[in-house]
Amino acid sequence: MPLAGPSHLFAPLSLTDRQRVFVLTGAGISAESGIRTFRDAGGLWEKYRFEEVASPEGWAAHPEVVWRFYGQRRLQAAACLPNAAHQALGALERSLGERLFLCTQNVDDLHEKGGSVRVCHMHGELFRSRCEVCARPPFEDRAAHASLPRCECGARVRPHIVWFGEVPFGMDVIARALEACDVFVTIGSSGAVYPAAGFVAAVRGHARTVYVGPEAPDNASAFDECRLGRASEVVPGLFAA
Ligand code: APR
């Protein structure tokens, strides 16, 4: 698998007018907007054990600690702005329409702030919550709850986030989009967390696969090409106009 850099030397990917693109993004695309990646020193995750704040067991044991953590993440993310990579993907959607499938592992709303309308948030959304019990659908919630919020039905309200051990959202539509794509791009994901880390292997044989990020991911050998560089530098020129 060839590693290449610097970013301005990459040839733009060209598409025919029927080809479909699947883009998977990870924490790296939001890093330049000020949201720390999970493995970053100094990131929010350093102060918490992930079992405590991002697992059903942690929620069962200390729901108020879980809400303190997500409240901090909400405040932090609300202040962040999309960068050139988010904006380029917003523009790509305007140009490709439904031929682009944008799937993110990120729970922030920077893709939406960058102009993307159809975003598959496979690990959930930071600014949505849901009742643990009743049929009320997930709802927008931007509050940094100081105490445990309750639904009208009396049950606890939890973050609309996929925790470790839970099944990611949208796996059926994701599977169809992976099958249908001709070009598969991952941007800023360490390739360590499944099932997303396995998507590239699922499209091998029918799609061209490209990774974008400053360092090769754990699953680098599964990609045709790794374009080493920061998302804000590489993504705007990734596709031919
Ligand atoms: N541009 C592109 N990529 C970057 C940048 C940048 N400016 N800065 C860092 N990266 C890359 C890093 O090289 C790393 O490979 O972003 C990646 C971040 O990796 P992780 O922190 O592991 O994030 P991610 O792969 O999205 O994690 C997946 O794990 O903790 C769970 O549910 C959580 O969705 C998350 C999942």
pLDDT (tens digit per residue) in 179-236: 999 999 999 999 999 999 999 999 999 999 999 999 999 999 999 999 999 999 999 9
101 contacts: CB under 8 Å, gap ≥ 6: 20, 21, 22, 23, 118, 120, 174, 177, 181
Query: Could you give the number of structural domains in the chain?
Result: 2
**Could you count the other beta carbons within 10 Å of the beta carbon of residue 65?**
14
Does 114 sit in the ligand 1 pocket, CB within 6 Å?
no
Sign of CA dihedral 12, 194, 165, 170: positive
Does 188 sit in the ligand 1 pocket, CB within 6 Å?
yes
**Do 148 and 218 sit in the same domain of this protein?**
no
Q: How far apart are CA 117 and CA 4, in angstroms?
A: 31
Residues serving a catalytic function are: 123
Please tell me the distance between residue 145's alpha carbon and the centre of ligand 1 in angstroms: 27
**Do 75 and 138 sit in the same domain of this protein?**
yes
Q: What is the pLDDT of residue 6?
A: 56
**Do 28 and 141 sit in the same domain of this protein?**
no
Q: What is the pLDDT of residue 49?
A: 83
**Do 153 and 87 sit in the same domain of this protein?**
no
Q: Which of 113, 146, 161 is the last residue of a domain?
A: 161
Q: Which of 36, 37, 105, 162 gets mutated to test ligand 1 (max ligand atoms within 8 A of its CB)?
A: 37
Q: Which of 161, 177, 209 is the last residue of a domain?
A: 161
Closest by CA to 28, choosing from 104, 93, 92, 81, is 104
Q: Which domain holds residue 59?
A: 44-79+130-161
Does 149 sit in the ligand 1 pocket, CB within 6 Å?
no
**Do 92 and 20 sit in the same domain of this protein?**
yes
Residues in the chain with pLDDT values less than 70? 1-9, 39-46
Q: How far apart are CA 219 and CA 112, in angstroms?
A: 27
**Do 90 and 113 sit in the same domain of this protein?**
yes
Closest by CA to 195, choosing from 174, 222, 223, 177, is 174
Q: What is the pLDDT of residue 47?
A: 74
Which residue type does 26 have? Answer: G
Cα angle 14, 7, 198 (rounded to 5 degrees) comes to 70
**Do 142 and 218 sit in the same domain of this protein?**
no
Residue of minimum CA distance from atom 9 in ligand 1:
28
Whole-angstrom CA distances from 9 to 4, 228, 229 are: 9, 11, 11
CATH number at residue 111: 3.40.50.1220
Bridge partners, residue 187, by sequence: 25, 212
Please tell me the distance between residue 53's alpha carbon and the centre of ligand 1 in angstroms: 19
The pair phi, psi for residue 220, each rounded to 5°, is -55, -35
CATH number at residue 48: 3.30.1600.10
**Do 184 and 229 sit in the same domain of this protein?**
yes
**Could you count the other beta carbons within 10 Å of the beta carbon of residue 147?**
9
Residue of minimum CA distance from atom 15 in ligand 1:
190
**Do 230 and 179 sit in the same domain of this protein?**
yes
**Cβ pair 77, 126 in contact under 8 A:** yes
Does 74 sit in the ligand 1 pocket, CB within 6 Å?
no
**Do 89 and 176 sit in the same domain of this protein?**
yes
Q: How far apart are CA 120 and CA 171, in angstroms?
A: 10
**Do 95 and 60 sit in the same domain of this protein?**
no
Residue of minimum CA distance from atom 19 in ligand 1:
190
Cα angle 67, 68, 71 (rounded to 5 degrees) comes to 80
**Do 141 and 187 sit in the same domain of this protein?**
no
Q: Can you tell me which atom of ligand 1 is nearest the CA of 39?
A: 21
